[in-house]
Structure 1
Amino acid sequence: MAQIDYFFATLSPYSYLAGMRLEEIAAKHGATINYKPLDIIALFGRTGGVPPKDRHISRIEYRAQELLRQSRNLDMPFNLQPAHWPTNMAPSSYAIIAAVRDGSGDVGKLCHLFLHACWAEEKDIADDGVIRACLEQAGFDPNLADSGLLVGAETYAANLEEAVDRGVFGAPFYITPDDQRFWGQDRLDDLDRHLAEMK
């Protein structure tokens, strides 16, 4: 069974725009997904990238146009300037890590709920109440928000180190067992074709 290592950030607009398409592709090919939330700002610093606010104005303007274009093309609600962005990614990431270990609910749905809360609902995904609500909606015990914080912190840091070691430099980023790398939600069709060719 193929595995997809999925590196993403719970504040990444492009991870949001991926929706649940990764989960659909994985199901189609009988693949499993290894969810690896990470600190995208730290990743930029480690791999030669620049946080959005520090980029040249031409890049900032293009990013704004492209995000709105893609959200319209995908028919997804999208707020270019959400009320709680940026915010602390760690609490939502720790919740995802705890959910992966727990295994009782839908991790893919949980990831999307956090992203949707930020980019479409004006919610602060660092807020404990928001985190608990997302966990519950995805079929998990909301008390997972309080569990395994040390493991969460260690795994979150390890995900960043693994990402740097494996050539990840943005989010969303997908890596297949044969080390084919796909960056961006607009490369999901390429990932789909590659998984078909691997069979």
Structure 2
Amino acid sequence: MSTAGIHYYFWMNSDWAYLGADRLEAIARKQGVPIHYKPVDLPQVYARTGGVLLGQRSPERQAYRITELQRWCRKLGTPINPTPRFMCPDATLASTVVIAINQAGLPVLELYKAILRAQWCEERNIADPAVLARIMQSQHLDADYWFEQAPHMQQRYQAYTDEAIAAGVFGSPSYVYQGELFWGQDRLDMLDEAIHMHPAPA
């Protein structure tokens, strides 16, 4: 992980990653640093770092998550449904598609936002290849071609997950800049300050 820039570890089911997406991009543009997009298998991250999946958390913790989401949605002017119909399905295909497209040097911001928006705002099942294909087509991407590439990205998906854990990541979204970890979209201002204080090498 020696490459300069922001190493962005996120789950393709992460409501918080959706809320932070545009602000992360704005920080990177302002500071002139690249973002390295690295989808991870968050259930595996949890299993290896002591995390607890949402459905297994206490009612108090689940209720507070909804309260916090509602606060941030108001603050950011970005509405989402905290309990969508298809909540946190298998994100493997979505993740490996995003990795394949990113590895090809194509932009992935609008695609991964569209996938997250489909889950959290549009009541769509992102584990369904037909749903993913429609999302990709809306982004002018050849779904059949990228579905063929996706299985070849499984090793990289696992490598990103391993790398995230090695960097201290235990939740999504997480941002690592010059070895410093920032967990959660509510830490983006602190990430911005860290980049300002320690600019990346030219």
**Per the shorter chain, which TM-score range?**
over 0.9
Q: Which residue number corresponds to residue 118 of structure 2?
A: 117
What's the CA shift string for 1:129-162, capped at 9, x where partnerless?
A: 2222332333433234322233221111111111
Cα 1:109–1:53, aligned 2, differ >3 Å: closer, same or farther?
Answer: same
Contact 1:20 1:109 in 2 (8 A): no
Change in CA separation of 1:22 and 1:151 when aligned onto 2, cut-off 3 Å: same
Secondary structure, aligned partner of 2:121: helix
Aligned residues: 197
**1:27 Cα shift?**
1.0
The Cα shift of 1:122 comes to: 0.7
Is the CA contact (8 Å cut-off) linking 1:132 and 1:145 kept in structure 2?
A: no
SS at match of 1:147: helix
Greater shift, 16-25 or 91-100, is seen at: 16-25
TM-score (norm 1): 0.93
TM-score by length of 2: 0.91
Q: Give the aligned residue type for 1:172.
A: P
- 1:158 maps to 159
Structure 1 segments unaligned to the other structure (5+ residues): none
Q: Which amino acid aligns with 1:196?
A: H
| Separation (CA, whole Å) in 2 of partners of 1:32 and 1:19 | 14
- Report Cα offsets for 1:75-132 as digits up to 9, x if no partner: 112111111112110010011011112223x211111111111101111111222222
Contact kept, 8 Å, 1:107 with 1:138, in 2: the verdict is no
In the alignment, the residues of structure 1 paired with residue 170 and residue 151 of structure 2 have an alpha-carbon distance, to the nearest angstrom, of 25
* Equivalent residue runs for 1:1-199 within 5 Å: 2-104=4-106, 106-176=107-177, 178-199=178-199
User: 2:167 touches 2:181 (CA, 8 Å); kept in 1?
Assistant: no
Taking the aligned partners of 2:154 and 2:145, their CA distance within structure 1 comes to: 14
Task: Decide whether the 8 Å contact of 1:95 with 1:131 is kept in 2.
Answer: no
Gap regions ≥5 residues in structure 2? none
Give yes or no for contact 2:39–2:95 (8 Å, CA) kept in 1.
Answer: yes
* Cα RMSD after superposing both structures: 1.6
Structure 2 residue matching 1:34: 3-state secondary structure: strand
**Percent of aligned pairs with the same amino acid:** 37
